[in-house]
Structure 1
Amino acid sequence: MKAELSRLTGLLNHPEMAPQLLADRFTDRLEQTGGEALVDRPFPWLTRRGVVQRQACSDRRCDDGIRLDSGGNCENCGSVIHMQRARRARVAADMDRELPDLGEGERIQVLEERLREQAAIEAEDFVWRREQARAEQARREVVSAADQERAEAERAAAAADDAVRQALGCEDCGQQQAGGLCEACGYRRRTEALIVEAGLVAATWSADLNDQGEVAAVAADVRSSLEADIECTRDQFMELVAPGELDADPVAAASATAFAGLQAVEQALLEYRSRGLGRLGRTEEAEAEAKRAYATEQGRRWFRSNPNGADAIAAAAKAADTARERTAQYLLATRLEQLRDQAAALTEPAGPAPWSDRLPELAARQLNGDVTGMTIARARCDPSQGLTAAITNSPGTARY
């Protein structure tokens, strides 16, 4: 009784109605039985019939065709009845087409047999589909468990790797337990990269890109200016900090000052880019693009009647400004790419000289007496090799 009451509470939208519904069901079951006098064994009757929900369809809220939550007729039962009637009509039509001469009694008998056969087929199909669904659910559970196990293993491996990484010292300053790079050194690296970027940005409009010396001079001037800005920013930061506060935590103090320098360089880089776009927007390429955009916009069909009107001039000026800005951005990007490629070419290590250039030098080297004797002896034993081949294959020259 308590278990059924708890189950009903979970099914209903209004759990407080569960006791009344269970009492109504008990009353209906007694009326169907014929009264309390006909219940000779109360407990078995109660557990097997009195309080048991009888689903007429697959809906969990169905009880003898009545919805437990609303008290109305179960719509799903109506659908089942409709499907049963449709199946009966279909089987009857097929039977009448195949056996048109049957009498009424034989017709009913054959119809019932075919309906039983159809029901058995559908029941078998339902069992098969249920087994397939269970197998699919089991497979999904296995896959899900495997995925969860793999994810847990990956998380454990990542945690172990992170623990090992966190135990590493800083590559730059040697601070322990810094994860390979402490916060302050990370800020300094980013600051250095931005200083280099600012130098390249300044060189895009103030230096001859093909003159490495001029590009380097511009980068040096930018570096000097930014280092002065960093020092000024750090001095301002030190003035805002209470005396002795930085000495209490040197690591935090180093991170704070490094971050202040990074912010100064970031702001300066934005200014360099803005200045560069302004200068590149006044180049011949940008002016030519602006003129073309101006003429194109002014020559559109809706401005042809009055190309010098206020609307036409405003639209053409806006198009020219957009084209000029777009060209400046393109020039900045392409020139930065050129400068980066040149810098990468200068920093690449020189490859080994080809053998065609090294062999004459190796052949001209003097050999000691032991090696010379071995080489001459080998040449005499195999005249087809020749002296040059023997020298090349000798132990004394194999290391080059």
Structure 2
Amino acid sequence: MALPADLRLRVALGPVSSLWERLSGWQQDQVEAAAKAELAQLAGLDVAPEDAPRLLADRLTRRLTETGGEAMVSKPFGWLTGRGLVRRPSCSDRRCDDGIRLDTGESCESCANVLHVRRARRARMRADIDQELPGLTHGERRRVLEERLADRVATEAQNLARSQEQARTERAQRKAARAADQERAERERQAAAAAETVRQALACEDCGQQQAGGLCEACGYRRRTEALIVEAGMVAATWSADLADQDDVDTVTADVRASLAADIERARRTFLDSAPPGELDADPTGAAAALAFGALRAVEAALPEFRSSALGRLGQAEEACAEARRAYKTEQGRRWFRHNPNGADAIAAATKAADTARERAAEYLLATRLKQLREQTAARTEQAPAVPWTDRLPELAARPLDTDTAGAVIA
């Protein structure tokens, strides 16, 4: 039977065409698959695809020469799949085949290095033998050398086996560690899922809504809104109140709370006016969450204005003005402005530096005073006595339940 129709395979298997004719149909299919795999492997070793068939043909030619020609091959299929088509690297380089670089066709440098090392080792052993055992005949000297080389090879084989065994042990340990980690992660996931299930079954801490995960959506929005209102009050107090006078600070925060309450009321009215008739009655819990979210958005929109106003006021403080003056003089006194410190370029650069320094000083004053106010608030909270349950029961009893009407929930 003729060689395969594929031109690449015909070129690669050309040197063994007579062996191909001695194969059965099934064997030819197997050899064809093995040849295709070798061509694909050669293409992945930085070998040009058009050169791969020629390199495989050269390999088959060398192997036939080693065997003594096609007439010496008694089992064509076994020879082709087990010897002729198989790459035989002489070193650790993947591009090496019988000491020849597949990508360049030249002698493999790694093989040359291995050969050099082996020759140097034999030379050292000969020198050691001549020094340790002088007067040996040529045959005795050769016998001792072969014995030592055999011992050296056996030692290296033992070391290799030991390192391989150690590598297998380490792989097994890593596999066991990964399995233990996966098992622990699965247990933690299950524990977290169970804890989440328990948490979701908790009632809301603020309103008592069942299956709220400890805090319902509306109360969560209310808590965030309250925190932002307190933050806005402290931001306004940083410039408009005497921080050492707690009554003055409380007055400012009360004014801010009243202003934000008006914004919240306007947002509430807008939502109620835009809601379709009957929707609030159909879902009172959702209506309460929507109103709470609208209040949160209203406070979030107002907070940047309070911060911007505080920075502007603190920028006029004596500390900020002093920083601005120092930055102005420093920039004006730069060596490239000394020839004309009052020129347009010098004044512009000095003004820009002063504005930057003023902004930095205002931000520092704001951060410092906010920190002071937070510490004062935390100290007052710690000193405040806990309210007895008997005093809190009337307040809790006045809260509406989930089954009340939408109007009660909104109120």
Give the TM-score normalised by structure 1. 0.72
- In structure 1, how many angstroms separate the alpha carbons of the residues matched to 2:342 and 2:287? 63
Q: Which runs of 5+ in 1 are unaligned?
A: 352-400
Matches within 5 A, 1:138-157: 138-157=172-191
Work out whether residues 39 and 56 of structure 2, in 8 Å CA contact, stay in contact via their aligned partners in 1.
Answer: no
Partner of 1:123: 157
- CA displacement at 1:333 relative to structure 2: 1.8
Could you say what secondary structure the match of 2:316 adopts?
coil
Matches within 5 A, 1:299-314: 299-314=333-348
Alignment correspondent of 1:195: 229
Tell me the alpha carbon deviations over residues 99-156 of structure 1, each in whole angstroms, 9 at most, x when there is no partner. Answer: 6765655554443333333222222222222222222222222222222222222122
Give the deviation of 1:277 after TM superposition.
0.8
For residues 285-320 of structure 1, give each alpha carbon's deviation from its aligned partner in whole angstroms, at most 9, with x where no partner exists: 211222222223323333333322223222222222
> CA separation in 2, counterparts of 1:11 and 1:278?
72
8 A contact 1:201–1:276 mirrored in 2:
yes
Change (3 A) 1:69 1:238: farther
- Is residue 291 of structure 1 aligned with residue 325 of structure 2? yes
Which position in structure 2 is the counterpart of 1:166?
A: 200
Paired with 2:95 and 2:278, the residues of 1 have a C-alpha distance of: 73
Distance 1:130 1:9 in 2: 31
For 2:53 and 2:191, the matched residues in 1 are separated by 54
- CA distance in structure 2 between the partners assigned to 1:239 and 1:283 by the alignment: 45
User: In structure 2, what is the equivalent of residue 280 of structure 1?
Assistant: 314
Cα distance in 1 for partners of 2:42, 2:353 equals: 66
Residue 137 of structure 1 corresponds to 171
Give the counterpart of 1:204 among 230, 238, 243: 238
**Separation in structure 2 between the aligned mates of residue 245 and residue 11 of structure 1, nearest angstrom:** 70
Q: Distance in 1 between matches of 2:137 and 2:340?
A: 95
Deviation at 1:95, TM superposition (A): 4.4
2:398 maps to: none
Which amino acid counterpart does residue 127 of structure 1 have in structure 2? Answer: A
Q: Which amino acid aligns with 1:142?
A: A
* Match runs of 1:1-400 below 5 Å: 5=34, 11=41, 13=43, 32-34=66-68, 54=88, 56-58=90-92, 64-65=98-99, 76-95=110-129, 105-244=139-278, 249-349=283-383
Note if contact 1:11-1:61 (Cα within 8 Å) is conserved in structure 2.
Answer: no
Alpha carbons of structure 1 residues 44 and 337: separation in structure 2 relative to 1, 3 Å: closer
Look up the SS of the partner of 2:125 in the other structure: helix
How far apart are 1:251 and its partner, in Å? 3.9
Per the TM alignment, residue 325 of structure 1 is displaced from its structure 2 partner at its CA by 1.5
List gaps (5 residues or longer) in structure 2: 1-26, 386-411
Shift of 1:193: 0.5
Structure 2 CA distance for partners of 1:182 and 1:90, relative to 1, 3 Å? farther
2:237 maps to a residue whose letter is A
Q: Secondary structure at the match of 1:302?
A: helix
Question: Cα distance, 1:160 vs. partner?
Answer: 1.6
Secondary structure of the residue aligned to 1:282 is coil
Query: CA RMSD of the aligned region, Å?
Result: 3.9
Question: Contact conserved, 2:233 with 2:253, CA < 8 A, in 1?
Answer: yes
Greater Cα offset, 262-271 or 95-104:
95-104
**Are the aligned partners of 2:38 and 2:85 in contact in 1 as well (CA < 8 Å)?**
no
Any idea what the Cα deviations from partners look like across 1:366-385, whole Å, max 9, x if unmatched? xxxxxxxxxxxxxxxxxxxx
Identity across matched positions, percent: 66
